[in-house]
A = this chain, B = another copy of it.
Amino acid sequence: MPGRKRLQLALFGAGRMGSIHAANIATHPRAVLAAIVDPNIEGARALAETFQSHVRSATDVFDDPAVDAIVIASAASTHPELIDQALARGKAVFCEKPLARDLDTVRSLVAAVEVAGTPFLLAFNRRFDPGFASLASRLREGKAGAPELVLLTSRDPRPPPIDYIVASGGILRETTIHDIDMARWLTGEEPDSVYAVGAARTDPRIAAAGHVDTVMVTLTMPSGTLVSINNSLRSAYGYDQRAEIHGAGGMLQLGNVLSTPVTAWNADGGSSDRPQPFFLERYADAYRRELDYFVNRLEEGGAMSPGAADGLRALEIAEAAEESMRSGLAIKLS
């Protein structure tokens, strides 16, 4: 059959995120889901069957010169090793965050990616959401003038298991990091200070583990733009993902996406539907667009954005926020 060769992508991880990426790869007109790798063989097989793919081992994938790129959606602890191998074998990388759990490893991975020059996409999914993307492009078109106040709201429907909170390093590294990336991306600036306060309100085990589930983070930008981020691990009304940018010329707001546009009116008022329940639903389009961007950039060549360095920068700011929360001091960022 004539036409361009389709890119061969191997997927690591057959869990929730892996399933989403599998569907997006399989239905992409210029990509092929060449392999699924997961220690959970049963899960991998079910996914392979649905999308007419194959369960393979990591070694097999990395040894296969036909595989163009890997998509990392496996457990966070496996990310550094997979990235190292991909760089060694010259395979492009689409990597779910985090690069690694600790800052030192992240720094060495970023350095390695830069040295290798391998195409690398760090999957900060919100940048690919049509809503956030529209917000950013309108801002760049000057629709709100120069930004002055940025408000970012991310609230999860319910806390993850306490073990997960501990393993992930807590809400600032796991949740706020997305808002930090968004603040950097929307304003085009690097913050020069961060101040964070937090509280544990949802589950006594969170406080007992020395963690919090509710935070407010203030970033100041060199231009004078002020950013306020608020996060909670509990939201009775669904996944809450909003943004607001107030500028010299107006305001841009990103609201929630409701499950349906149905409203019921009665003596209590008018009741709309809930926001989308969680990230799988809310960011379904973002995941599709993210994969499509990766395929396009692979074909076109050139750098990908966000890259590994964006993951590093966001983590550095999240760790400074952690330090602020613990010390009660605003932290200067270099």
- Residues on A close to B: CB < 8 A? 1, 3, 23, 26-27, 29, 45, 49-52, 130-131, 134-135, 138, 143-146, 148-149, 151, 153, 155, 193, 195, 197-202, 214-216, 218, 220, 224-226, 228, 230, 232, 234-237, 240, 246, 248-274, 328-330
Contact = CB atoms under 8 A, between A and B. Distances in A.
Given A27-B51, A237-B250, A263-B253, A226 B216 contact: yes
Contact of A228 (B134, B200, B216, B240): B216
Contacts of A215: 226
A264 B224 contact: no
B224 A201 contact: yes
Given A29-B50, A135-B262, A148 B224 contact: no
22 contacts: A1-B45, A1-B49, A27-B51, A29-B50, A131-B262, A198-B226, A199-B224, A214-B226, A216-B228, A218-B228, A234-B248, A235-B246, A236-B265, A236-B266, A237-B251, A250-B267, A252-B263, A253-B262, A268-B271, A268-B274, A270-B274, A329-B329
Report, nearest first, the 5 A-B pairs whose CB atoms are least far apart: A199-B224, A250-B266, A237-B265, A255-B261, A251-B265
Copies of this chain, how many? 4
Contacts of A232: 148-149, 246
A140 B254 CA distance: 29
A149 B226 contact: no
B50 A134 contact: no
Main secondary structure of the interface of A (DSSP, over half): mixed
A265 to B, nearest CB: 4
B271 A270 contact: yes
A146 B138 CA distance: 31
Contact of A130 (B52, B148, B259): B259
Contacts of A49: 1, 3, 29
B200 A224 contact: yes
A257 B130 CA distance: 14
A199 B236 contact: no
